[in-house]
């Protein structure tokens, strides 16, 4: 048998459909833990204490796995589109998704660096202003930029769904509405960020239901 004849076409693993569910759960948990010890105003409140530091450590340990699951979720979406994928919208969709993930990692890295410095100096290595500045950088990267990239990710995907008919129209309409929330009113509350993982969870459940129906029909 020749080497070329031995090659096989790759197919998406069935378990990949759960990637969005895993991302939604891990990302929401990590975000909730981080937000619970971070004031709305980064220059208000005392530096992170030991209790808050414990929650931040858990958040930092969960986020890399959430990022891996999000990459799988992007792959699942592209697999669902198949040959219907448009180069323009696919480029915006993929680029905004990767930028979102990169900036989330940067934001968490800033939080980790602050926590490491505070722990190393028993709470005294950084002055209060330094901690507040680090929080401000973390929130700017995470809220102002990362979540707005998430909004662009949603808009591009909603447009693809509308043009291809690959997902229900009500989902595309809801996607536009939720994306507008992330783009325009994210500064009202840190907890609005949970809109994105909730949306990913709904999309993933719909994909899993469709996969089950397709398997049953087959």
User: How does pLDDT run across 45-58, given as a tens digit for each residue?
Assistant: 555 555 567 788 89
Residue spans of the domains in the chain: they are 16-217
Label residue 2 left, alpha or beta by phi (over 0 means left) and psi (-120 to 50 means alpha). Answer: beta
Dihedral sign (CA 145, 26, 110, 126): positive
125 pLDDT band, cuts 50/70/90, is very low
Q: Residue 113: pLDDT above 80?
A: yes
User: In terms of pLDDT, which residue wins out, 11 or 116?
Assistant: 116
Q: Residues 215, 195: contact at Cβ < 8 Å?
A: no
CA–CA separation, 128 vs 96, rounded Å? 34
123 pLDDT band, cuts 50/70/90, is very low
CA–CA separation, 167 vs 152, rounded Å? 18
Q: pTM for the complete prediction?
A: 0.83
**210, HSE (Cβ side, Cα atoms, 13 Å):** 13
Q: Residue 217: pLDDT above 80?
A: no
CA–CA separation, 189 vs 154, rounded Å? 20
pLDDT at residue 122 in the model:
55
Token digits of residue 114: 């602050």
| Mean pLDDT for all residues in the chain | 80
DSSP letter, residue 7:
-
pLDDT at residue 7 in the model:
54
pLDDT at residue 149 in the model:
93
CA–CA separation, 106 vs 138, rounded Å? 8
């Amino acid at each position: 048998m020749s080497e070329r004849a031995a090659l096989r076409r790759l197919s998406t693993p069935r378990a990949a459909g759960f990637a969005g569910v895993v991302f939604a759960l891990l990302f929401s948990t990590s975000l909730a833990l981080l937000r619970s010890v971070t004031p709305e105003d980064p220059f208000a409140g005392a530096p992170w204490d030991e209790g808050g530091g414990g929650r931040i450590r858990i958040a930092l340990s969960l986020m890399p796995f959430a990022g891996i699951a999000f990459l799988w979720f992007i792959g699942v979406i592209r697999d669902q589109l198949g040959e219907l994928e448009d180069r323009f919208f696919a480029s915006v969709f993929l680029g905004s998704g990767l930028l979102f993930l990169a900036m989330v990692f940067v934001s968490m890295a800033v939080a980790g660096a602050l926590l490491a410095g505070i722990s190393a100096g028993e709470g005294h290595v950084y002055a209060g202003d330094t901690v507040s500045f680090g929080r401000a950088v973390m929130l700017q990267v995470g809220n102002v930029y990362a979540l707005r990239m998430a909004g662009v990710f949603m808009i591009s995907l909603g447009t693809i769904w509308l043009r291809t008919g690959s997902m229900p129209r009500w989902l595309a309409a809801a996607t536009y509405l939720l994306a507008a929330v992330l783009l325009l009113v994210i500064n009202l509350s840190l907890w609005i960020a949970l809109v994105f993982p909730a949306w990913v969870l709904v999309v993933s459940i719909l994909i899993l239901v469709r996969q089950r129906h397709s398997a049953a029909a087959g």
